Amino acid sequence: MGKFKYKALTKDGRKVNGNIEATTKESAIETLHKQGFTPLVVKSADKKGEIAFLSSKKVKSKEIVVFTRQLSTMISAGVPLTKAMATLEDQTESAYFKKVINDLSKDIEGGMTIGDSMAKFPNVFDEVYVNMVKAGESGGILDESLKRLAVQAEKNETMKKKIKSAMTYPVVISFIAVGAFFAITMFILPQIGKVLKDLGGPDKKLPPLTEFMLALSDFMQHNAIPIIIGMVVGIYFLRRYIKTPKGKYKYHSLLLKMPIMKDIVTKIAVARFARTFSSLLSAGVSVLEAIKVTAGAIGNKVIEKELIEAAKAVQAGHQLSDPILASPHFPKIVGQMLAIGEETGEIDQILVKVADFYEEEVETMIDGLSAIIEPIMIVTLGAMVGLLAASVMGPLASVGNSISSDS
């Protein structure tokens, strides 16, 4: 992605200038048109590959949370936007984020709104963020919108950390277990098999389990490189497939069918829906636009598709609660609470309570899952050790008895 300088006209005829990130000049012009500008001049602003290098970087969630909260505080205190940006630029450690904030400041000085300027950096400010900022600007409540964004980002980050923490232990143990199994099967079992055959003689028949494990060991020894290459290539192509729209949809669909995982994934999606949708409505975004933006922030393509269909239903004159109640993935209580909100005109307030409830549910489930995973991993490791021990100790005991009886 490169950077382009532009001069353009706003809808009211004012001249503005600034920078925009895009893959090509044509896509930069298209983005400007979408933002309501009439481009006059668009040219590359890359310098010695610096911009291309920087634009490939991402900003940590924690940095965005701090930036958002501090910007909200300064705006509430009456600090001019350009001065607030200069202060935040000085405080930011990330070189790329400094560059982004500097560009935001230049765009604002050039007459662009902060929302339109942020829209040029989708790898930093997502669609939800940009729409809430734009709504806050137009409604004169930018500080409140930023405060809600900071709270939402903090809650999302907390949930991500909990999920990552819960998954780290089983993933590490699984890698160690698989590595140990491969090492024992490839290097230790062949030696033990040789000893067993030497002690029992060439005509000694080994138990079926031992024969199977030795055959597996022999196969892995002779095919170790193809197995490793096959696994690496398989994982690579699987990851690439999952990144495609079709692959991602199938993967997300599979998650919604897996025991335990489907409950966690659904509750995370419901919590995100309720939190994001309520925040957008509170900021003054229209219901239809809020549904479309929320759909992209859900994190599950299957539920995202359902919300896009729900937006079409709302556009056709239906209440949002109707498609939500009909959905197989949204709990009925969510649709019922939404219906109450539609009747009372307090959708945003009711959905905040829904979000709080399901975020607590997710935390409880993750804590419970962490407690269950440890004994499961111990039993699995015990079974692997038992399998290896049974394949070795049985024949050793048999050989020992034979030697004792002979003597």
CATH code of 11's domain: 1.20.81.30
d(CA 251, CA 265): 12
Q: Is 104 exposed, middle or buried (0-12, 13-18, 19+ CB in 10 A)?
A: buried
pTM, whole model, 2 decimals?
0.68
Is 187 in the same domain as 114? Answer: no
Residue 112 located in a structural domain: yes
Q: Which of 110, 108, 50 is nearest to 80 (CA)?
A: 108
Is 163 in the same domain as 91? Answer: no
Half-sphere exposure of 68 (CA within 13 A, CB side): 26
Is 204 in the same domain as 253? Answer: yes
Residue 71 near residue 145, CB atoms below 8 Å: no
| Paired residues of 18 in beta bridges | 6
Pairing type for strands 2-9 and 15-22 reads: antiparallel
Is 120 in the same domain as 173? Answer: no
Is 160 in the same domain as 284? Answer: yes
Cα three-residue angle 158-304-328, rounded to 5 degrees: 100
Q: What pLDDT is stored for residue 54 in this prediction?
A: 43
Is 12 in the same domain as 75? Answer: yes
d(CA 190, CA 404): 25
Task: Name the domain boundary from 74, 108, 125.
Answer: 125
Is 180 in the same domain as 285? Answer: yes
Q: What pLDDT is stored for residue 406 in this prediction?
A: 54
Q: Tell me the average pLDDT across 362-373.
A: 82
Is 120 in the same domain as 258? Answer: no
- Does pLDDT of 389 surpass 90? no
Residue 140 located in a structural domain: no
Residue 30 located in a structural domain: yes
Residue 287 located in a structural domain: yes
What is the residue-averaged pLDDT of the chain?
A: 83
Residue 111 located in a structural domain: yes
Half-sphere exposure of 251 (CA within 13 A, CB side): 13
Residue 137 located in a structural domain: no
Is 286 in the same domain as 372? Answer: yes
Is 256 in the same domain as 383? Answer: yes
The domain tally of the chain equals 2
Domain that holds residue 243: 151-407
pLDDT band per the 50, 70, 90 thresholds, residue 21: confident
Q: For 136-150, 227-241, 336-350, which range has the lowest pLDDT when averaged over its residues? A: 136-150
Is 64 in the same domain as 159? Answer: no
Is 93 in the same domain as 30? Answer: yes
Q: Is 203 exposed, middle or buried (0-12, 13-18, 19+ CB in 10 A)?
A: exposed
